[in-house]
Amino acid sequence: MLTQTNSAQVLLNSTISKELKQIAEKVYSNERITFDEGVLLFEKGELGYLGSLANYVREKMNGNYVYFNRNFHVEPTNICVFDCKFCSYSRLLKQKEDGWELSEEEILDKVRSYDGKPVTEVHIVGGVHPKMGLMYFANLIKKIKEIRPEIHVKAFTAVELEYMCRKAKVSYEEGLRILKEHGQDSLPGGGAEIFDEVIRKQICEDKCTAKEWLDIHETAHKLGMPSNATILYGHIEKYEHRIDHMDRLRTLQNKTKGFNTFIPLKFRNKENQMSNIAETSVIEDLRNYAVSRIYMDNFPHLKAYWPMIGRSTAQLSLSFGVDDIDGTIDDSTKIYTMAGAEEQNPALTTLELVELIKQVNRIPIERDTLYNVITEFN
Ligand code: V47
Ligand code: SF4
């Protein structure tokens, strides 16, 4: 087996261009790469080169481990006041036939249905419903915690939070403080899409701006609520927009250290207003994971959401920087299945997930939301 030093030597001795060799040298000496170098990686780095560098970073940060957690999703509604062009999931209030709105009791029943099951996290996100406000959700979380006090509540994207705070006429700090006091523990990474203002205007004009998204996460971190960050890639953006997005996150992370995980989300084109755009290839997906791992040097983890990309690509991604595969049998979100995800009926037991990870010679770790080890499957 090649050691890390050997594989670095092989890469530096290979016939890559001078510029790519310089970037490799920087990565091997733990130096941060610049914006232009990030763009160059996308433009010129072929798959083997990127994989080798990303794997170096991944093994330096997370060894041979692959993390997963047992959670379940609650999607209170798919009614949404916004009109993101890539969204296959949302319905307007007037399109009630395909829309759903769970009652509080239905949501609490779902939580109760996990009684006795070893889930550690509930992930609550949905459409932005005009009638479900800050105090409704705060009280919902309180009731969830009364049923299951130890469960970690990861809830509401910055898009939902911006709307809730605006409607309730409170600052982000006040709104987040109320949610925290009622039991919310952390924020998921959704709603980030692409921060570049020109592209954002074209794909999701009416929801929270890039600045608002970043301000909300910064405020959450200040209040001791960690969060994740996503990028939606593979549509009309260019490589420089992907790096700009990562750069804004890397800068905020320098300041707050509140992000746990970066989650690249591949644009899926089924039944949305951007269906004319072809989806990216698996090779491009792997290159994107690799560049993300190399560029986001202060994000402890890089996650691939397996129901979205499928089992085989998820396994491959583990050699391209990814150290976390989200999703067991209990974890599925309609936002992907409705957009044409690889796995239409995601059903993977914990043992199957463990097997999938072991097949590629990595060590599976069941974690909690904050990456504390629950079980190591050696
Ligand atoms: O922000 C919507 C994405 C996100 C499409 O934090 C689409 O652990 C691809 O952020 N093709 C919401 N993606 C989901 C999300 C998430 C998922 C799993 C784990 C975590 C976490 C966060 O879904 C949205 C948007 O970027 N999305 N439509 C689509 N057609
Ligand atoms: Fe609404 Fe979210 Fe869909 Fe945008 S992505 S339309 S905010 S549900």
pLDDT digits (tens, 9 = 90+) for 52-82: 999 999 999 999 999 999 888 899 999 999 9
Domains of the chain: 4-62 (no CATH), 67-376 (3.20.20.70)
Give pTM, 2 decimals.
0.94
pLDDT digits (tens, 9 = 90+) for 204-262: 999 999 999 999 999 999 999 999 999 999 999 999 999 999 999 999 999 999 999 99
Query: From the CA of 305, which ligand is nearest?
Result: 1
Distance 105 CA to ligand 2 centre (A): 24
Of 85-94, 200-209, 265-274, the range with the lowest mean pLDDT is 85-94
Please give all residues whose beta carbon lies within 6 A of any atom in ligand 1, as ranges.
86-88, 188-191, 193, 228, 230, 232, 263, 265, 267-268, 272, 305, 326, 335, 339
Ligand 2 near 265 CB (within 6 A): no
Distance 341 CA to ligand 1 centre (A): 11
pLDDT of residue 8: 72
Closest ligand 2 atom, residue 204 Cα: 4
User: In the chain, pLDDT over 90 holds for what percent of residues?
Assistant: 80
Nearest CA to ligand 2 atom 5: 87
Question: Ligand 2: which of 90, 157, 204, 272 to mutate, most ligand atoms within 8 Å of CB?
Answer: 90
Residue 342's pLDDT band, with cuts at 50, 70 and 90, is: low
Burial class (CB in 10 A: 0-12, 13-18, 19+), 111: buried
pLDDT of residue 15: 78
Of 112-121, 211-220, 282-291, the range with the lowest mean pLDDT is 112-121
> Which tokens sit at 317?
């991604």
pLDDT digits (tens, 9 = 90+) for 313-337: 999 999 999 999 986 645 455 665 6
> Which tokens sit at 47?
């798959």
